């Protein structure tokens, strides 16, 4: 869990995307993971990753960035429930 949430802080878009995608899959398929991911520290990392990705206008049309945004948005939605 720590490794995947650490990926969200990476400057490399592919690493960040891999971490977000893995967390999304884990959250979707594992109820125990859902409880672990509701930790305030991980939620903070998710929000920071979402904010920094949204602000990055240089890669606005990059398909990897678009996928990362979708992953982060879905993670946020699932954690709010």
How many domains is the chain partitioned into structurally? Answer: 1
Q: Identify the CA nearest to 16 among candidates 76, 67, 73, 79.
A: 67
- pLDDT at position 17, please? 92
Burial class (CB in 10 A: 0-12, 13-18, 19+), 66: middle
Helix (H, G, I), strand (E, B), or coil: what is residue 10?
coil
Mean pLDDT, the chain cut into blocks of 10 residues (81 residues total): 87 91 86 79 86 76 88 86 69
- pLDDT at position 58, please? 66
Is pTM, for the whole model, over 0.85?
no
- pLDDT at position 57, please? 65
Rounded to the nearest 10 degrees, how much is the dihedral formed by the CA atoms of 8, 13, 14, 16?
10
Range of the domain at 7: 2-80
Question: How far is 38 from 15, CA to CA, in rounded Å?
Answer: 22
As a whole number of Å, the CA-based R_g of the chain is 12
């Amino acid at each position: 869990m720590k490794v995947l949430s650490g990926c969200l802080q990476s400057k490399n878009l592919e690493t960040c995307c891999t971490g977000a995608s893995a967390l999304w899959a884990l959250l979707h398929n594992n109820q125990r993971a859902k409880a672990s991911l509701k930790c305030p520290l991980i939620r903070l990392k998710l929000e920071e990753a979402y904010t920094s990705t949204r602000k990055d206008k240089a890669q606005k049309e990059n398909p990897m960035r678009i996928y990362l945004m979708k992953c982060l948005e879905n993670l946020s939605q699932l954690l709010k429930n």
